[in-house]
Structure 1
Amino acid sequence: MKHPVTITLEQCAKTWPDGSHALHPMDLRIEGGRTLALLGPSGCGKTTLLRLICGLESADAGTRILFDDEDVSAQPPEARGVGVVFQNYALFPNMTVAQNIAYGLRIRKWSKAARQERVRQMLALVRLEALAERRIAQLSGGQRQRVALARALAIEPRVLLLDEPLTALDAKLRERLRVELAQMLRELHITTVIVTHDQDEAMMLGDRIAVMSAGRLEQVGDAETLYRQPATPFVGEFLGTLCKVRGRLEHGVLGSGDETFAFRPHEVELLPALPSSQQARVTSRFFLGATLRLQLELDDGQAFPVILPADSDHRVGEAVSLRLLRPLPA
């Protein structure tokens, strides 16, 4: 197995010709053999960052992109040794599955025997052996995604880059392939960067997550740290639902006051209405199978949802007090 490459970005920035900033200068390190998920809303710069790592876009002067100790900032994509899976997969419709996978090997002038063996290995990896001679048009969305992944991996890339690879799939298939892809990436032990706007996808696939907003890095860390200890309100709101209330806390119970607190909807305990606290009224109740979602409204008009176990017996019209179990910075 090849030594996994560590990617280091130093003052990585991208300015468009009109002077607008796609990426403000940022430093980022991606450890060899690990998967980093770039997470953020559309237009935040995550795909631009991926294209800079790949070499499809040129960075601003002063940027350094290192693969281990090698500065690849000025190298074209083909010299960097990267495998890329785009959102639309970019497969060749006039070729078979096997021919698509072999394409990069043929360009690199692998021998016919070596190509055939590598294609066989890749087909086995993505479990498409029986479809080797199928045309792309005859494949399902999930099968096309696997072909694109196999083609990217066939060339033995130093780095694997995935740009929204599951977006085009329906919800159930996307859920299943997330699990398969997560297992595959950990088995391959290849340095991977995946772009996504889906928080569940980022949390399942990324060993670490880099949350981006408006061309800037908001926070980098593992999923649990980002969820439980968001460094900024944006991270807290983007990585899960975040509710905000005004008041004061005494032993976690919400009373009247002017401070602002944030909390996750499921990290709340509902208590019988206490005279010394702010009281909330249950305005709606939704049974969701595994959980119960209540909409609450405080006396001063603040409204927000809470998530409780499905067997909770709270009803519409009931008055309650709230204890925030894990308040967050607002």
Structure 2
Amino acid sequence: MSPHGNSHTHDQSHGRSHGHTHGHSQGHTHGDESFDFDWGVLSTQLEQEAEIRGPVYRQAAEWINGLLPAPGARRVLDIGSGPGVVAALLADVFPAAEVVAVDSTPELLEHTTARAERLGLGGRVSTRLAELPDAIPTLGEADVIWAGNSLHHLGDQRAALEGFAGRLRPGGVLALLEGGLSARHLPRDLGADMGRPGLEARFEARLAEWFTAMRSEQPGAVRETEDWPALLAAAGLEPSGTRSFLLDVPAPAPPLVREQLVRTFSRLRDKNLAEGAADDQEILDRLLDPEDPRGLLRRPDVFLLEVRTVHTARKV
């Protein structure tokens, strides 16, 4: 698995994955869509996505810090750490802790090491190349385990949670970032010359189908009711709260957000999510045209609004 941004990139519908955990090496496909992700190639994109969402991750980490007993965290595992943006943030929020960035992509771990060195955190942020779920028993104990949009890349999520629970020290917290509300970037009605209203809602519905197919193709995939507190309790932990965090970047969005949105919509086009809807394909092409005044890089009404939800549980 990989992305964080602690973000992967399921675009609007399922947050951006934070992390890798098993390299999709079997080349699963759904129709013409491959579920292989070249996370190394996506490293810069993942890094920028995570930086945009830094305020949300910081709020979540500070909340988790408040759930810990004294003296706080001494060791933190960042599961599916991606390019290390969140690992560095965790090191800042947990100043007495060693943070271990766990990912299955060497290029992303190299980014993590470089970021930690730039920020003066090289002595406290280490990396671990690991294929999950098999490597979970080898990760050592931790006071905090952060899994940001990475669990859904493991086929048997219940078994993975049980494995993570076994790595927690008494009083430790497992924090699971899964779900929330899908990102929105554009007005519902883009204008009379820009097709039918509701473009992003239609893409969200198609992405939900894509996500379901992706989940079903994971090795050992098991369907679960996505009641995360109940699954955390079933893993032997005591649920300690669920909170949602708002990311609100109003229009006109800054260049970094617009560039990230162009990449997101380009992935929508690559996934053929406008297939069968010629008008949607035409509008998508216009939105991605850097010279079109109604395109994503030029229109004044581009924003970013989304909610990330974090579920926590402690080991008693």
Fold match (TM-score > 0.5):
no
TM bracket, shorter-chain basis: under 0.3
Normalising to structure 1: TM-score of the pair? Answer: 0.23
More strand by percentage: 1
More helix by percentage: 2
Relative contact order (C-alpha < 8 Å, sep 6+): which is higher?
A: 2
Normalising to structure 2: TM-score of the pair? Answer: 0.23
- From the CA coordinates, give the structure whose radius of gyration is larger: 1
